[in-house]
Amino acid sequence: MENKKVKLHYYPGCTLKEKTTNLDDSTRKSMEILGYELIEPENWTCCGAEFPLNEEKIIGLAAPARILRQVKIEGEDKVFTVCSFCFNVLKRTNEALLTDPLKYKRVNAYLKDDIKINHETKDKTTEFPEYEGDVKVYHLLEFIRDEIGYDKIRSMLKRDLSNIKIVPYYGCRLLRPKGNMSIDEPDDPTIFEEFLENIGCTVLDFPFKQECCGSYLSVSMPEAATEASYNILRSAKLNGADAVALSCPLCYYNLDRRQNRIKEQFLEFMGMPVLFFTQLLAWALGVEEKILGLDQHFCSPYSVLGIDDKSEVKI
């Protein structure tokens, strides 16, 4: 077990650094246990969160392409992320650069103006290689399935999670648009179920696993987003789940942090714990409770994991 750690590039994305440190911390700890040393691309920025759907807004591809180019400059050919939005944007950017010569040319023209300043030596770098869309982007679920392997995960489990009845919630960005995102079959995905089964959870099915939670509409059309989120959580409850597992910080915001608003709009709503898949992974791998950041959740997930609830029950 005391092997040298494998270096691996990790792009956390903006939200993980402040609002969902529970996702970031549990990812880092789990990957450390699995034998990886995570490296963030130097000077990374926000990926833009939304892939530009307008064919003429090519500038929106510059930020994700710059992040991926930095991974390439640092001598790596792959990077992983745990945020579904970042995964979607980075992966689609690669596809756009590989399939559209005009976008390739324009994006690389934008990136040519980049200047990198070394803050210690004050040296300026102005020459950069072109980025060709060839850094492979993994979501951690995909990386675990394809590179780490479920066998290894199973052999390293320290806790029994079989009491946790859980439903996987994919949301939209992990699976769609159909065709570009090959993490799994968009209409009948199984990767999340396989992951949860292999870390020992009791996995249940529910019909809302691919439904949208409302995404950014929780800001611009809050009532509509609240209703969409409520439908997902209610369906999970009706199907016998103790908790919902997910990977996206925005789904987490809509499905967990906004449960007070769901309660205001739907009086019969009784709360439903929501957990990141990395929190479950870390817990199964024997990580101590304080790393998981369970106190950040609105709906207390302590009882789901069989921990004495130290927080106030808010709902």
Partner 1 sequence: MRIKLKRGKKENDFIERVNELSGENVYSCYQCGRCSAGCPFAFEMDILPNQMIRLVQLGQQEELIGTKALFLCASCFTCQSRCPKGINIANVAEAVRSLIDPKGEDHCGPNEIPVDLADELPQQVLVSVYRKFSK
Contacts of 107 (CB under 8 A, 6+ apart): 58, 61, 62, 65, 97, 131
Lateral strand order in the sheet of 136-139: 36-39, 6-10, 78-81, 136-139
> Of residues 227, 237, 265, 293, which one binds partner 1 by CB under 8 A?
227
Q: Which two tokens stand for residue 309?
A: 């609830």
Kindly tell me which of 72 and 257 has the beta carbon lying closer to partner 1: 257
Choice between 216 and 270, CB closer to partner 1: 216
The H-assigned helical ranges of the chain are: 21-33, 62-73, 84-99, 101-112, 140-143, 150-155, 191-198, 217-220, 222-238, 249-252, 259-265, 277-284
188 binds partner 1 (CB under 8 A): no
Among 139, 257, 263, 297, binds partner 1 (CB under 8 A): 257
Tell me: does residue 220 bind partner 1 (CB under 8 A).
yes
Alpha-carbon span 315 to 233, nearest angstrom: 14
Regarding 267 and contact with partner 1 (CB under 8 A), the answer is no
Minimum CB distance to partner 1 smaller for 225 or for 285: 225
Contact predicate 142/270, CB 8 Å: no
Q: Which is nearer to partner 1, 51 or 283 (CB)?
A: 51
With binding defined as CB under 8 A, does residue 293 bind partner 1?
no
Taking the complex as a whole, the smallest distance from the CB of residue 213 to partner 1 amounts, in Å, to: 8
Contact 136, 173 (CB under 8 A): no
Please tell me the distance from the alpha carbon of residue 106 to that of residue 61, in angstroms, as a whole number: 9
Reduce the DSSP state of residue 66 to 3 states and report it: helix
Distance from the Cα of residue 288 to its chain's centroid: 21
Q: What are the structure tokens assigned to 307, written together?
A: 């921990």
Among the listed residues 12, 41, 60, 301, the single contact to partner 1 using CB under 8 A: 60
Q: Which of residues 144-183 bind partner 1 (CB under 8 A)?
A: 171-172, 175-179
Contact with partner 1 (CB under 8 A): which of 8, 31, 49, 285? 49
Q: Report how far residue 269's alpha carbon sits from residue 177's, in angstroms, rounded to the nearest whole number.
A: 31
Return the number of the residue (96 or 282) whose C-beta is nearest partner 1.
96
Minimal distance in Å, beta carbon 211 to partner 1? 5
Binding residue (CB under 8 A) for partner 1 from 42, 99, 154, 216: 216
Closer of 20 and 198 to partner 1 (Cβ):
20
Cβ nearer to partner 1, comparing 114 with 227 = 227
d(CA 294, CA 289): 8
Residue 255 token pair: 């499905």
Binding mask 61-90 for partner 1 (x = CB under 8 A): ----------------------x-x-----
Backbone angles phi, psi at 235, to 5 degrees: -65, -40
DSSP state of 78: E
Is residue 13 within 8 A of residue 86, CB to CB? The reply is: yes
Residue type, 47: C
Residue with smaller CB distance to partner 1, 125 or 311: 311
Minimum distance from residue 171 beta carbon to partner 1 (Å): 8
Structure tokens at 289: 């409770």
Q: Which is nearer to partner 1, 180 or 202 (CB)?
A: 180
Using CB under 8 A as the binding rule, the residues of this chain from 108 to 147 that contact partner 1 are none
106 binds partner 1 (CB under 8 A): no
Binding residues vs partner 1 (CB under 8 A): 13-15, 18-20, 46, 48-50, 52-56, 60, 83, 85, 171-172, 175-179, 186-187, 210-212, 214-221, 224-225, 227-228, 249-250, 253, 257
